Amino acid sequence: MTDFRDNPYYRHAPNGDRPLDVRDLERAYSSGRLVGCFVPKDQDAPWWARRAGAYDLDQAVAELRIPVFGVGSSGERIEGTGKDKLCAPWHFYLKLDPSSAMKGAQKTGDCVSWAIRGASDTTRCFEILGKGEPETYVKRQATCGIYAGRGHTGSGGSPARLSRYLVYIGIVLEQTYKTPKAEYDFRDYDQYVSWGMKRGSVGVPDDLRAITMVHGPRTTSLVVGMEELKDLLWNGYGVHCGSGIGVSAYGNPVSRLKGSWAHDMQICGYDDRPETRKTFGETVFFWDQSWGDWNTLENLPEEWKPWGQGMFALTQSDTWKAVRQQGTWVFSNTDGFPAQPIDNLLI
């Protein structure tokens, strides 16, 4: 793996001036004071963030076994399996971890690690329940392990870099770890967030990685098409998306684009049923925020529930405006993306 300290553009990343809370997160992102996500095609982001994103994307494409998802990426074809479906794989995550899944709010520019945590935990929970082994689920991930791989000690990170880094370090859970060298306590985000902030230029220690690398995603790939996105989500593969889109805090029940954020969020599922397309004019995609209770939704269809904290809905055309910026990544716990013979509505 390329040394994560060799990117000269990261020296321009701004240092966070203080922890953020739910009340000022949107203001910080909307004003550009906080750039949480480095994506090459986010035209509203600063030049250094775009260049850093482009650098990391090039590195990922050069080094990953399946850099871009497409038909033929695995031994089994999943093309077309997501068509005309209501897809709600986040229900698996909520079922296995009702007290913690999709809850909380970021306190620094670590949105990429929050979105990666949600996406990869969704992949993990889908697999666990698909195998009928709920007792094997322990905790959700600690975001600090992911955030420690960003390559600098300022705020923000690259979706390409940190997606690749998760495959490198494995799953760091919100629990304590003891090694011959140290003890790590990741039980409380408010306490461990500073650990990830400080270790941005050195990453996860080798003694900890020796434990965590045993479990976690084995494949991550860039997603560049909407039909491919549906197929992946339907087969239980978690997805996150870094982009420059901004979203209104009100939805009825579908939200609209508003402003611009250099931000990363999880894409949780979608509704591609004919009746949904008739009602809203097109397919609807479901997203999850890392800002806690920031939004208000009305007239939420019962079949979309239960809803995670911070979730919102966007049309396919609005979702495409984010996906086309080349910051959308998917996780698999196997080599490739084989078809998963699980109906994700049976939950």
Residue 19, in any domain of the structure = no
Six-digit token pair at 3? 């040394």
Cβ atoms 269, 285 nearer than 8 A: yes
Residue 130, in any domain of the structure = yes
pLDDT tens-digit profile of 117-172? 999 999 999 999 888 899 999 999 999 999 999 999 999 999 999 999 999 999 99
CATH number, domain with residue 97:
3.90.70.10
Residue 155, in any domain of the structure = yes
Residue 258, in any domain of the structure = yes
pLDDT band for position 19 (50/70/90)? low
* Number of domain units in the chain: 1
177 pLDDT exceeds 50? yes
CA torsion through residues 33, 265, 52, 6, sign: positive
pLDDT band for position 63 (50/70/90)? very high
Region 43-70: mean pLDDT is 94
Q: What range defines the domain where residue 173 resides?
A: 29-332
Residue 21, in any domain of the structure = no
DSSP 289-305: -SBSS--EE-S--GGG-
pLDDT band for position 76 (50/70/90)? low
Residue 69, in any domain of the structure = yes
Residue 177, in any domain of the structure = yes
Region 54-78: mean pLDDT is 82
pLDDT tens-digit profile of 294-345? 999 999 999 999 999 999 999 999 999 999 999 999 999 999 998 887 765 5
Residue 240, in any domain of the structure = yes
> pLDDT value at position 246?
97
